[in-house]
């Protein structure tokens, strides 16, 4: 049995007023097409171009293994050069992916290939982050630690995006002191017997093609799967809701450090505890 998905609305090029009134204020996701065709990146950015301008850069890589207690939050599993990584992407399916990498800090010339969308968000210009993945690579279901509003722009190939409204967090088997759900959940083939609360959620879905931009409101859960090798650029702004801003600050300044400390102190037993608690707490809430 699979989820019954809701297709994310798709619209062509938006004005600032249209975006703010129809999507930002109601915190509603949307795919915006024909918004970046005037960017040099639209015609230039592909694997061959990145090999030429960033091939020697050392990039952080992650695989599909569960969280390792010996690593800090978001610590990479491997590193290699961008050129070596692109070679792997082009050879065939791989679960290796780049996550939260500020490529433009290492290659400042790339900034001239893009423009900052003038849609009413105060985007953080020091944090244009890139994400890469090979065919069938998956990004675990999570929400962003700082509750940003995000413009997620895809390049090369096709990528599937699944979003869940934060109002449904109580059904998501969220790990305590974390912003990810129980990693045993397969969101392509959910086990509703082991995780019955998942039957209560109404996930949204879309597929992004080259040059398309997904708006993800603050605190929305998202799970990404690369249908072909590709990469994306995320532009983010601070949370606009005071409660989300405070929660994000707490996550960044306190909770992630506490989680790292507990991993070091308790080891695997800390992660086992979080797994068990995610199931106990969620099923308890569902039954109330």
The tens digit of pLDDT for each residue in 2-23 reads 899 999 999 999 999 999 999 9
- pLDDT tens digits for range 266-277: 999 999 999 999
Q: Does the pLDDT of residue 288 top 70, yes or no?
A: no
Mean pLDDT of 84-98: 93
- For residue 58 the two structure tokens come to 């050392």
Sign of CA dihedral 145, 151, 157, 159: positive
Residue 251: the pLDDT is 94
Reported confidence tier of residue 107, pLDDT bands at 50, 70, 90: very high
Pick the closest to residue 175 from 251, 237, 70, 239 (CA basis).
251
- pLDDT tens digits for range 187-209: 999 999 999 999 999 999 999 99
Q: Does the pLDDT of residue 178 top 90, yes or no?
A: yes
Rounded to 10 degrees, what is the CA torsion of 168, 174, 176, 180?
-120
Return the residue matching tokens 């990479």: 76
- pLDDT tens digits for range 32-71: 999 999 999 999 999 999 999 999 999 999 988 888 778 7
Residue 77: the pLDDT is 83
Q: Does the pLDDT of residue 262 top 90, yes or no?
A: yes
Q: In a 10 Å sphere around its CB, with 0-12 CB exposed, 13-18 middle and 19+ buried, how is residue 75 labelled?
A: exposed
Q: Does the pLDDT of residue 219 top 90, yes or no?
A: yes
Residue 287: the pLDDT is 74
Reported confidence tier of residue 285, pLDDT bands at 50, 70, 90: confident
Q: Does the pLDDT of residue 74 top 90, yes or no?
A: no
Residue 16: the pLDDT is 96
Residue 71: the pLDDT is 75
Residue 1: the pLDDT is 61
- For residue 83 the two structure tokens come to 């050129």
Q: What percent of the chain has pLDDT over 90?
A: 90
Cα 44 from Cα 155, distance rounded (Å)? 10
- pLDDT tens digits for range 117-140: 999 999 999 999 999 999 999 999
- pLDDT tens digits for range 23-43: 999 999 999 999 999 999 999
Q: Residue 132: beta bridge partners?
A: 98, 231
Mean pLDDT of 140-167: 96
- Output the average pLDDT for the chain: 94
DSSP state of 111: G
DSSP strand pairing (221-226 vs 138-142): antiparallel
Residue 76: the pLDDT is 82
Mean pLDDT of 245-271: 94
Q: In 10 A of CB 214, how many CB atoms?
A: 24
Q: What percent of the chain has pLDDT over 70?
A: 99
């Amino acid at each position: 049995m699979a989820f019954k998905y809701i297709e994310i609305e798709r619209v062509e090029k938006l004005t600032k007023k249209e975006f703010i009134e129809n999507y930002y204020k109601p915190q509603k996701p949307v795919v915006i097409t024909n918004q970046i065709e005037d960017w040099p990146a639209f015609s230039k950015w592909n694997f061959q171009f990145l090999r030429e301008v960033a091939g020697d850069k050392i990039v952080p890589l992650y695989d599909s293994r569960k969280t390792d207690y010996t690593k800090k939050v978001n610590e990479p599993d491997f590193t290699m050069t961008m050129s070596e990584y692109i070679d792997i992407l082009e050879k065939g399916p791989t679960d290796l992916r780049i996550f939260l990498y500020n490529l433009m800090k290492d290659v400042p010339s790339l900034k001239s290939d893009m423009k900052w969308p003038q849609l009413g968000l105060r985007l953080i210009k020091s944090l244009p982050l890139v994400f890469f993945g090979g065919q069938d690579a998956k990004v675990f279901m999570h929400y962003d630690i700082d509750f940003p509003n995000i413009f997620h722009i895809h390049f090369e190939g096709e990528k599937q995006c699944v979003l869940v409204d934060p109002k449904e967090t109580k059904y998501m088997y969220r790990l305590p002191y974390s912003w990810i759900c129980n990693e045993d959940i397969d969101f392509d083939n959910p086990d509703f017997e082991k995780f019955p609360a998942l039957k209560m959620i109404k996930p949204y879905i879309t597929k992004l093609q080259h040059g398309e931009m997904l708006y993800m409101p603050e605190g929305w859960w998202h799970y990404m799967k690369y249908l072909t090798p590709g990469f994306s650029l995320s532009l983010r702004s601070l949370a606009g809701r005071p409660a989300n801003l405070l929660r994000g600050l707490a996550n960044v300044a306190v909770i992630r450090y506490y989680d790292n400390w507990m991993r070091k102190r308790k080891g695997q037993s800390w992660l086992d505890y979080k797994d068990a608690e995610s199931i106990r707490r969620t099923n308890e809430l569902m039954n109330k």
